[in-house]
Amino acid sequence: MTRMKRYHAVMRLCGCKVWVCAWAAMALLAACYSNNCPLENTVTCNYAFFDSEGNAISYGDTITVTTLKPGYKTVYIYRKLGNLTVTKEERSEALIEQGYTETTMQQRRDTVLINQQYGASSIKVPMSYFNEEDTLVFAYKSISMRDTIKIRHSSFPHVELPECGTYRFHSLRGITATDAAIDHIEISNPTVNYDGGTNVKIYFNGVAE
């Protein structure tokens, strides 16, 4: 074999190796990005709004939804003449140095889930992992009374694929609501997962025109 022929043979062999490496890298990337893990993987309990006769509506009021958690927390209140009162969940040495007086008080460990949402037709609310009952408080801008919704449920781990990790799904067992603005409430799909379907239907007082 002449020197030129040996050169071309070596180049062909090296070219094959390069293509094999490139193909292997592409296959590895495809495996990483095609593992069938769900893209929408946030688990929420989905509430849809209806009027008292079952017509889907956008509720014509501003709603704030709070969840009630067990136990209490300490909050720090700072006051200074001529200034607005400041409330913090951690002690502030800086405010004390500025001449504010400090007092403390105990508050429930409540968490705002939906903050002043107007004209909503549905809401998505996370559920607790370890409590068997969640309590939601609906506050309205147009009326002073509030509604309390209690949801009994169980939670269980769900594994789609090992590489996707573990999610907590829930199974709704029962639900009740007060009647400040709510006519009645019902479970439409007891399985709470990341599929996005409606789990609970809330029927508000009145009929949409």
Tens of pLDDT along 116-171? 999 999 999 998 888 889 999 999 999 999 999 999 999 888 777 777 777 788 99
Q: What is the pLDDT of residues 175-201, one digit of tens each?
A: 999 999 999 999 999 999 888 899 999
What does the buried/exposed string (b/e) look like for 41-50 if buried means 16 or more CB atoms within 10 Å of the residue's CB? eebbbbbbbb
Least confident of 7-11, 30-34, 68-72, 199-203: 30-34
Helix, strand, or coil (residue 130): coil
Say what the pLDDT of residue 4 is. Answer: 52
In this structure, of 30-44, 52-66, 75-89, 161-175, the range with the lowest mean pLDDT score is 30-44
Q: What is the pTM of this model?
A: 0.67
- For the chain, the structural domain boundaries read 1-34, 45-70+111-204, 72-108
Res 28: pLDDT: 40
Q: Which residues contact 16 (CB under 8 A, 6 or more apart)?
A: none
pLDDT over 60 at 10, yes or no: no
pLDDT of amino acid 68: 79
Query: Which of 123, 118, 169, 120 shows the shortest CA–CA distance to 149?
Result: 123
